[in-house]
Structure 1
Amino acid sequence: MARLQLHDDATFIKHKPQLRADAAWALYQVLEQGRSTRDIMPMVFVRHHLAKDRAWLQETVFGVLRVLPTLQTWLRALLSAPLKKQQKIIEHLIMVGLFQQAYMRTSLHAAVSETVEASKVLKQPQLSGMVNAILRNFEREKLIDKPIEAPHAQVNLPKWLYKQLLHAYPDNIDEIAKAMQDKAPLWLRVNVLKVELEHYSKMLDEQGIGHQVIPPRSIQLDTYTDITLLPLFDEGGFAVQDMAAQQAANLLQVSAGDTVLDACAAPGGKTAAIIETCPSLGALYAIDNAPSRNTRTEENLYRLGHIQRLGERLHILNVDAGLQETYDELPKFNKILLDAPCSATGVIRRHPDIKWHRKAADIDALVLTQQRILAQTWKALAPGGILLYATCSILPQENSDQVREFLQTHDDASLHPIRDDETVDKPGWQILPSEANMDGFFYARLLKSH
């Protein structure tokens, strides 16, 4: 069903397939219509059959999103007035051309001729002369060598996020911003219930796939590849999961017989990791309030063999983790993983459109949602139980500030430290982007006394 919908959606792209036109269309959808690259990129990929063309589209669209403020600065210097209405897509096309010249080192002739042709494909032939002139002027005026004045544009961040990160991390803002522009590595979590880590490594070696092994169950691939072509994909031998996200199952410390809750579980990556860490757990409840995402959880767990393995001990429920009535018919839990809704500022290098979809006002609303869910899941935790609070954010108000306030307002909660330097005033483990090649993540472990 999903594939049929994908092809149906792709028919909304009215122009004929052409790489630069499709890249501009994708950027227009993301930046002007607020759509996600997760939704948009498959729609342009399906129009191109060669792997190298899909790779080019991925690199170009994500690359433009990573350095958007720089490209916009150049565009403003070269364009006499902003384009409007149906012509607006040509601004995105020009940025594709500028990105090729500045970052992909495409020859001037190729960058100009193909981008000019794309303006005609996008049904704006009257602007082709302007596109040609702008791209040639960029080279002639050597804008690439001229400094950018705005501090947030220098590091390619939206102004609101730059201010918040500068306040939180004044000593390493440049390092964090640079890491957000880097390409994220591809991590695998080997399903050790099906194949030993060392044996899977040998299978990759036999196919000439370069990789690094990090026990007990992690592999980092040296280059991106089609994961469906990797050994044992169909058999559930592995799942794609960043090393930072893989920490959750280890930190939760599930024991045999435990009744476990994975709140906000979809699409099930951490649920699967919990099972692989302790298949002898008593019962596991994976809850989320989005039916489509719960379907993905079921699909992922089935491929890995976990639905078959746990049987009636596994419960996938379509409920809201922040509502009290959700827990009326559920047992008390020994262990709870709360992977809370968040700004996702820690995974911007993996999803660069996040930078341009998030707004400063979103953070306050997310903090309230996190507080609501944390309060309700805490009530569902049995005395002596552990709750692991997690986000893929690097903003303190979603992370250490959130946990510190919770500890101050709940006398039955105490910090169960992950790291030696944790205190109740500065709780949790904040992983910054690219630290040990991981995404940005936050974890804090709480113990319930009574």
Structure 2
Amino acid sequence: MAAPQSPRGKAQSSSAHSGGMRRQPRPPALPPLPADSLAMALTVAADALAHVRKGHALNDGLAALWQHYPDLPPATRGAAQDLIFGTLRDYGRGERMLRSLLQQPLTEPTIDGLLRVALHRLETRPDTAHTLVDQAVEAAARIARGGLKSLTNGVLRNALRQWDQLVVQCNADEEASLRHPRWWIAAVRRNHPEHWREILAAASSHPPMSLRINPRRTTPDAARSQLEAAGHSLRALGSHAFMLDKPIPVASLPGYAEGLLSVQDWGAQQAAQLLDLQDGQRVLDACAAPGGKTAHMLELADIQLTALDADPQRTQRVAAQLSRLGLSAQLKAVDCRATASWWDGQAFDRILADVPCSASGVVRRHPDIKWLREQDDVARFATLQAQILDALWPTLAVGGKMLYVTCSVFAEENSLQVARFAARHADCQRLAFADGVPEKRWLPGPDHDGFYFALLQKRPAA
């Protein structure tokens, strides 16, 4: 993300060389916003929205944003993050309201972002409406020059006067009411005709926070006692995982810095358990970042693990995860499809193919996806997934198993992808899981995100 603009714009002055006209004085500089103010949180959130609206991923933008505002109080940072994620989850609502409130779209992206954030706040916190408008105007005065401060004031005060009508308009608009792009709604409805409304609702909700215990450093009972002693309410998920009743900042989790536990969605935790790992196996994690599944496999078995990721920076994040947990693997920043550049010719007993996908099952954690994905992206990901599977299959030993995983809810990336792969490879056998099902489709819900799992085994050539 580009560094946020200066709080005040440059004052324009007339020429001093025309007819003896005197240079006009600059207007006085505005004082900086208080770091703990709602106006500051709105400013930070507006900049993040502008970053996404320009087509950039939110995660990278947030990292740059926090670097630019290193002295933000925790409360302001938390408020800004809530505004950012809430506005992005509410895809379509701000767009529909602004169509009624503006004569033409705004060309200043940060003011556009500020209005969307402010409208989200008005809808979720109507009790703070007048304070919100005042603080948004203060933010606008420092974001842009010209008449945009007055425009911001006028738009938001008109919104207050027309609020009931605006809500009726949003509820009658498919994108605004269901909070997803129209093509996405159609795709979910087509793929899940019986559950499409529940899937869309879950994708716009706040995600749960589940924890994975590191059995190499603690026990479930010890971890639970430590968490409860710190005042956190939780419930068990399986034998080595917990769900917190209320999400909290990761850094405040007791035992996190010491590597006693990790934050990982309960659905994502299934991957390492479904791969049938045994001590001594050679294992490949082909698309490893950010490293949660990589670490989980190493926690479950004494294996020789090779972890790949095409992005060097994301590979560093995997290394940081393993270091925190006291684990080690052979890490390589490389495209897993280019096997000649990384494979030593020794076959793997297990392969985790957690392939890139539309991320339609985890969109509540990455709400910028709603704004950035386009309809043809699903087919593009499906092509990439097929390339990865075809490249990895020769590296799997006869009798070895590959677990295919996506965080997508679309069949083109899931069951259809696996069926096409099996049809291309005569030595591929689809295995049922322990409960007898040939594939697992976890739709997003209260306890977990959306995932797909299929287990493939390489059988001897005929």
- TM normalised by structure 1 equals 0.90
Corresponding position: 1:378 with 2:356: no
Per the alignment, residue 48 of structure 2 pairs with 26
Question: Secondary structure, in 3 states, of the residue corresponding to 1:372?
Answer: helix
- Equivalents in 2 of 1:329, 1:131: separation in Å? 61
Per the alignment, residue 14 of structure 1 pairs with 6
- Equivalents in 2 of 1:403, 1:79: separation in Å? 48
1:201 to 218, 224, 234: 224
Cα displacement (A) at 1:11 = 4.8
- Equivalents in 2 of 1:209, 1:101: separation in Å? 31
Per the alignment, residue 418 of structure 1 pairs with 433
Moved more, 91-100 or 225-234: 225-234
Aligned residues: 426
Question: Secondary structure, in 3 states, of the residue corresponding to 2:453?
Answer: strand
- Equivalents in 2 of 1:298, 1:81: separation in Å? 48
Question: Secondary structure, in 3 states, of the residue corresponding to 2:210?
Answer: strand
Per the alignment, residue 118 of structure 1 pairs with 139
Per the alignment, residue 105 of structure 2 pairs with 82
Gaps of 5+ in 1: 1-8, 308-313
The question of whether the paired residues in 2 share the 8 Å contact of 1:386 and 1:447 is answered with yes
Question: Secondary structure, in 3 states, of the residue corresponding to 2:344?
Answer: coil
Question: Secondary structure, in 3 states, of the residue corresponding to 2:280?
Answer: coil
- Equivalents in 2 of 1:92, 1:233: separation in Å? 34
- Equivalents in 2 of 1:267, 1:198: separation in Å? 27
Corresponding position: 1:242 with 2:257: no
- Equivalents in 2 of 1:319, 1:112: separation in Å? 49
Corresponding position: 1:271 with 2:294: yes
Corresponding position: 1:129 with 2:150: yes
Letter in 2 for 1:433: P
- Equivalents in 1 of 2:426, 2:414: separation in Å? 19
- Equivalents in 1 of 2:199, 2:242: separation in Å? 24
- Equivalents in 2 of 1:339, 1:67: separation in Å? 28
- Tell me: CA distance 1:89–1:143, structure 2 relative to 1, closer, same or farther (3 Å): farther
C-alpha distance after superposition, 1:247-300 (max 9, x if no partner)? 011000111221111111122211110011112x3x111112222221111111
C-alpha distance after superposition, 1:122-148 (max 9, x if no partner)? 123512222222212222222344143
Letter in 1 for 2:159: F
- Equivalents in 1 of 2:152, 2:379: separation in Å? 41
The question of whether the paired residues in 2 share the 8 Å contact of 1:324 and 1:376 is answered with yes
Question: Secondary structure, in 3 states, of the residue corresponding to 1:354?
Answer: helix
1:191 to 203, 208, 214: 214
The question of whether the paired residues in 1 share the 8 Å contact of 2:427 and 2:459 is answered with yes
The question of whether the paired residues in 2 share the 8 Å contact of 1:74 and 1:143 is answered with no
Quick check: which has more Rg, 1 or 2? 2
Per the alignment, residue 126 of structure 2 pairs with 105
Per the alignment, residue 449 of structure 1 pairs with 459
1:48-447 → structure 2 map (5 Å cutoff): 49-84=72-107, 87-141=108-162, 142-148=164-170, 149-279=172-302, 281=303, 283-307=304-328, 314-326=329-341, 328-418=343-433, 422=437, 428-434=439-445, 437-447=447-457
Identical amino acids, percent of aligned pairs: 33
Cα displacement (A) at 1:412 = 1.0
Cα displacement (A) at 1:397 = 0.3
- Equivalents in 1 of 2:317, 2:257: separation in Å? 15
Question: Secondary structure, in 3 states, of the residue corresponding to 2:361?
Answer: helix
Cα displacement (A) at 1:13 = 4.0
Cα displacement (A) at 1:160 = 1.8
Cα displacement (A) at 1:358 = 1.1
The question of whether the paired residues in 1 share the 8 Å contact of 2:347 and 2:397 is answered with yes
The question of whether the paired residues in 1 share the 8 Å contact of 2:91 and 2:175 is answered with no
The question of whether the paired residues in 2 share the 8 Å contact of 1:195 and 1:237 is answered with yes
Cα displacement (A) at 1:440 = 0.9
- Tell me: CA distance 1:75–1:367, structure 2 relative to 1, closer, same or farther (3 Å): same
Question: Secondary structure, in 3 states, of the residue corresponding to 1:345?
Answer: coil
The question of whether the paired residues in 2 share the 8 Å contact of 1:289 and 1:318 is answered with yes
Moved more, 14-23 or 440-449: 14-23
- Equivalents in 2 of 1:147, 1:356: separation in Å? 21
Gaps of 5+ in 2: 8-31, 34-39
- TM normalised by structure 2 equals 0.88
- Equivalents in 2 of 1:344, 1:81: separation in Å? 33
- Equivalents in 2 of 1:173, 1:419: separation in Å? 28
Cα displacement (A) at 1:228 = 2.1
The question of whether the paired residues in 1 share the 8 Å contact of 2:5 and 2:143 is answered with no
Letter in 1 for 2:249: D
- Equivalents in 2 of 1:157, 1:147: separation in Å? 16
The question of whether the paired residues in 2 share the 8 Å contact of 1:119 and 1:125 is answered with no
Letter in 1 for 2:443: L
Cα displacement (A) at 1:354 = 0.8
